[in-house]
Structure formats: C-alpha cells, structure tokens
Structure 1
Amino acid sequence: MEKRTFIKLSTTLLAMPAIAPLASWVPDKKLKNWAGNLSYSTDRLHPASSVEQVREAVKKYPKLKVLGTRHCFNTIADSTDNLLSLNAMDKVVSLNEKARTVTVDATMKYGQLAPYLDKKGFALHNLASLPHISIAGACATATHGSGVKNGNLSTAVSAMEIVTAAGDVRTVSRANDGDLFRAAVVHLGALGVVTKVTLDMEPTFQMRQYVYENLPIAQLKEHFEAIVSGGYSVSLFTDWQKSRVNEVWIKQRIDKNAGPERGAATYFGATLAKKNLHPIAELSAVNCTEQMGVPGPWYERMPHFRMGFTPSSGTELQSEYFVPRRNAIDAILAVERLRDSISPHLMISELRTIDADNLWLSPCYKQPSLAIHFTWKQDWASVKKVLPLIERELAPFKARPHWGKLFTMAPAQLQSRYEKLAAFKQLVHEYDPKGKFRNAFLDTNLYGS
C-alpha cells in the first residue's frame, strides 16, 4: 500500500468509535489479537465471570491461558488448548482512602478506572500511551508510560489475587511477601490466573501538554538528561531521518510545574507546535489527547490517545527494547545508523524513560532505562529481517525486549539479561508443577536454549 493511501485509510479509521467490548469477544473461526497480525491457535474461549468460575475452569482443563484485551503482538497469551476470558470481571472491588489503594477486577481497563478514581479525588502515578489495555495484562508484561522518576505500571501494584494451577486462591502483597511479591508481579502469565489487583493511588492532579517539533539530534546528544527531565512525562518521536527528533511531547503536572515555561517558543532548538499533532505528523490529531498547554485531568493528558476512541486501525506491528539510561545516547545513535534499513518499514519510533524497579522480570529491574519503541507497518516478513540488525546494534547495552512485543533475540541471550530468572522458574514450578499455564512462548523464551 502506498504511504498516501495508508495515511488516508488510517485517518478514516481513527475517527471511528471504539468497538463495544462485548462485541470483540464473540468467538469466530479465527480469534485474532488487536493488531490482526496474530491468529490464536484455538477458538476454545471459555468465559468466567467470578473467581469461583475461574477456579472451576482451572481445575477442569489441563492446559489453559488467559486472553485479555489482546494488545500483545506475540504469542505470550496463546494456547493450542484452551483460552480463558475474564472480560466480564472488570469492576472496582474496593477503594481504601486511608491506605490510598484501589482493588479492581483484573480485566478492568485503565480507561475505565481512571475517571472513577479522579471523581473520588485520586490518581495513578502514570498511564501507558493507550488507555484501552487491561490492568492485569499491562502489569504482567511490565508495560509503561514515561518519566525519569516514574516506574512502569507494575510498580503501582501493592497486592494481587492469583488462582494457581491447583485451583487455590492466593494473595501476594508488597507488605507481607517480600521476594515472592517481587517475583510475582511481572509474571508473564506463568504463575496462574490473576483475578484481582490492588494499586497504589495518590491525590488527583491536573496536567498540561506541549508538543515541540524538530529537535536536533545534536541537542539530544548534548542535553539528553535535561530534555527527558523537562516534564513529568516526556516522549520523543522520531523516524530516524534528517538528524532530528520529529516531535517532543512534554506532559507537565501543574502542581509540580516542571518543564518549559508556559508557551515557551523553543525547547532545546525545537519549536512549539501551533496545533495539536498526532505522533505521525501526517495523521489527524482528532483522537489524540489535548495539547497546546490546555489544563486537564491527569488521565486526559498522560496517554497519547483519548479514552473514548480507538487510537488507530490496529494494522501495525510493535517492537521495543530497554537499555540502561546511562547508555541512552550511544543506543540511540546505534539505531540511527540503521535508519536506511529501518525507515522503509517504520511508521514511527518513540523514546521514553522509565525509572528502575525491583520486580524480577521487569525490563527495568535495577536500572533506570530508556525504551526504544518501533511501530512498524504490518509486514512481518520485512520486520523480521530488520529486528536482528537492531538487536545486534543494541547488544553491547544488554537490551531487554518488551515481553509483549515482537523480537527475534535468541532465548539464551534473553535469559542472560535477567539475573533472577532461575529463581523465577523455581517459583513457577511451585505454583504450576505440571505446566498448566506453560505455552510455546514460555517454553521457548524462558526454558529454551
């Protein structure tokens, strides 16, 4: 498809409202993920609307995987045997104002929870680019937003309820379970079925968002830390061409007032946008969150896309690699050297920072990180040839791929990046001794050679 045709089609689809959640769960001959690049290996999708029904399904089926909002681009949630849908379990269970925690059903989406919390006077510390993802799924794969002092979404988890392979219900918490908790939060679906998640809250706050265009790479090399620290959350979008970052999205907390002065015309050589922009400049910004410094609630500024709309047609592929933030510039320049190989297949890249955490299988375990994200055209044959080039260039920095996105890294290399992997696999054996929740993805990437 020609670029102009693609842009026109995408813009049309961007204007369409989100499909009703229940409609997307009507089984058909081929269950697909959100992007449409993956057909699941079975259409045996079993619904559960209570913890007791989850326990019954877990006891009944020898092999089972949970299928959530289907935003993963690889087979991490796939099964050749049985899939379990908790789509009906998406309610707020309780809100503890004194402890500043909220407990929710696992399949609740951030876009559902955020307005509820705001009305109660509370907020989450961060959100991902898309508000349409489930809380349990996002935490299981260490999905993230941006901000030098912001941990990924999993770091807000203070407790989880899990149904194990034996059908037992266990609760693990930060307060009571130490290493067990740190191992279990980013669990990749290997420990059991998460039925409830408890998240930390903070008082609600207002934000504003500015977008700047054409940041010179030379400025990024000289002032990287200052640039990415210029707001509560900062995202850099680039197509790796013309020695520049196409767009800089700066999300400011009004109560903390970090970032460029209100309405500053330039930002490290980039110029203030004169209208709302889409991360892909050619596309309409109609479904993007409000920019131009207009104040608004935290949940209407931290995502890139508005809550009430499907952000794109979904016809894309995604990859992402995490490197230590101390290596950020060297890693960015290493990828830039591949621009002529990357650009023909790329829609846009996004650079974001994430603070370190202590969650065993988090890509940010013990290291403040830079995430280098690629949104690809949906051409896996071509992307599959480019990814090894990127992985080779990022190898000196011991890059860790996003668990839910596309990568070609050899299992032995991937495993070597996680110092607690052996201990995690021992925990998996304790929770799931017969491999009920194992699938090809886990067999290959956690156990393969």
Structure 2
Amino acid sequence: MKLKRFFLRYYPPGVILEYEQSGELHSRCIDLLDLQPESDARKLASDIIQNERLLSPSRTEQVVSLIQKLQQKLILSKEKRFYLFKVIKAHMLPLTNLAMNKSGSYFITGSYDRTCKVWETASGEELLTLEGHGNVVYSVAFNNPYGDKIATSSFDKTCKLWCSETGKCFHTFRGHTLEVVSVVFNPQSTLVASGSMDTTAKLWDVASGAEKATLAGHSAEVITLSFDTAGDSMVTGSFDHTVLGWDVTTGKRKYGLIGHRAEISNVLYNFDSSLIATSSMDSTCKLWDARTGQCTATLRDHEDEVLDLAFDSTGQYLLTGSADSHAVLYDVRAMGSFLYKLSGHSGEINKVVFNPQGTRLLTASSDKTARLWDSSNGNCLQTLEGHSEEIFSATFNYEGDIIVTGSKDNTCRLWR
C-alpha cells in the first residue's frame, strides 16, 4: 500500500487517506469525532501515526498541520450575531419545505404553487424555477454532497429529478397512488427514496429513472425516510406508529421498530449509522440499535408531541423539538442522558438543527421566531424576529455563518 494524498472532512472532523493498492485507488477515513479546539494536536497526531500503518513518523508534522486546520474550523466566534440580510418573497402561494446544498451556496423551496425554486444564498437571487408538477410540491432535496441534482415530491403522486444547474427534468417517477410527502437521496446519489400517503415507500434509480423496489409493510402514511451512511439500509417512519428497517439492495424488510404509541414525526440515523432516533406524537423519542433494531433508550422529557429531532454532525448529541414549546438536548454517548431544556418559545417548535460545529442550536417555532442557543449551557443567545407567520423550517450553511428561515408568511429570510 502506498499513501497518495490526504483529504480533510471538516464536519464531523476527519482525515481521509487516499492510497494505492494493487494498482487501484482506495480511501480510508480516520474519524476525529471528539476533536476540540483545545485538543493537543501533536499528541493526537502521534496516536494516529502509531495506529495507522499508512503513516510513518516522517508524516508527523503534516498530520499535526491537518489536525490544526480541523481545529480552526471548529472555532466559532462567541460574539457572532446574525443580522437580517434579505427577505425573499419566494412564491405566490405558501411554502412547504426548503433545503440547502452541502456547501450552502444554494437553497431550494417548494410551494403550493406547484413549483420548486432555486436560490443563490449569498445574494438571495432566484436562479431557476422548476415547473412541471400538477399539484403542490411538498418535499425537496439536494443530492448532497454533490449538489448537482434536485428531487421533488408532489401531491400529484409523482416525484421528479432535476438538474440543479439548468433546471432540466431528467425523470418523472410514477407509481405511487396517493400524494408523495417525502423524498431523499441515498448518500451515493444513485437512488432516490420516496414516501407516500399510499402507505409505501419506493426506491428509484437516478441514472435510468426506473423503479428499483416498492417497500410495502406499513398500514398508514409513510412520512419520513432516512438512509444510513453506507446507503445499504434505510428506515421509514409512518403514521401507523412504527418505523421499519429495510435492506436497500434487496428491498426486503429487516426489522420493525415497535414501541411508539402514536404517529412517527421523524426518523434519523446518527453519523456512524450505529443508532436510529425516532420522534413521535406520543411525546417521546426513542433510540434504537441500528444493527439489531432493539430499543436502547426512551426519552420522556417532553409534555406534548415531539415534532422534530436532529443529530449533531458527530452523532454524539441529539436535539428534539416539541409542541410543548421546548427543545431538549441529550448526550447520545450516555444512553440519551438529559443535558438541557431550552425554554423561551411561546409556540410549538417545528424544526431543530445544529450548526456544523455543534456549538449552536437553532429552533424554529409557530410563535413566528427562530432562536439561537449555546449548546454548552442551553442559554438563548439570540431571537430572530420579523416573520409574520409560523416558521416551519430553518437551516445553516456549511460554514455555520448563514441561516435561512422559511415561514408560512410566504417568505424566506437570510440571516448572516
């Protein structure tokens, strides 16, 4: 084996080694999930070299330099405040969802006006309007990390695949018999998964547009989907109170996550795909072993429906948002132990998200505000005000220095 070059992955921190073996290129990632700005870079480099046969002691200074670059990305000015940069009147009819590409250079919006629009984040300018659906465009997604394709799902019972640069429609995915309410790409950008009110999920081939599999097993609407990092497995969450795990290659059901007593609102894998988190209208969240499907913890710190959840980039912390107007932060490494309750909103919390560094938490609420919180102590740092209706979505860009909020007032706001 011969080391060819290094790559850095900033969020979560990691060093990717590209090497040649038997004439072929391969890569291996060294995850540094516990890296902090104050970590001893030289000691860490020494430990890495001792345990990685591709690296000789002569590489020590190079590895130290790489670790220090990763540490610089984790430093976020504690004085950073967000200010309103632009208000975007995105659509003529209400917005449904928004999504950002990995770098944060573009974001997309779906609407009741049957279109999806592509926006430049830096300027707030509209770049493309994707037209062709016959009903509400409900769910939208980029094929991150690549960002060259967009998937949309619609109440017209179809999904569409688009070129994010030209707006060309590559494929229309037909086969669902009721509204399609969720759509995601697998991490490799070879498949699109869709979830529908018809109780099924489907897998579609990105290259050919062909249906690869129908995932049938739920008895009510499939409203949330998540792929694992390898793209080999996925989970589907339903209003039938259950989550099902699937083998993506065969389309066969692997297990059912049974235990919630009301509709599922969200389901996610953590970074290393060892855990699955589920949130439910039964006021609880659950953590599950992704390998066995066994429940490892039930989180009972909310008093009303849990509407959303999010892992930080390392998969070590979990944030939940509820109709009880509170968000709660948990330490996943300690079996979902309670850390902080975030109190301040006066309405239900519809969306929760971490910044890429994991140092800030963002919550969006029906009280027409979004709030920014310090993840180290649960203190509210800033309230983003100005929307005239419920905020249903909020997201950070890749650097964590721009926020986009989407509201039922038909506008998006850019904060930086």
Q: TM-score scaled to structure 1, two decimals?
A: 0.28
Report which structure shows greater RCO (CA 8 Å, sep ≥6). Answer: 1
Task: Say which structure is richer in strand.
Answer: 2
Q: TM-score scaled to structure 2, two decimals?
A: 0.29
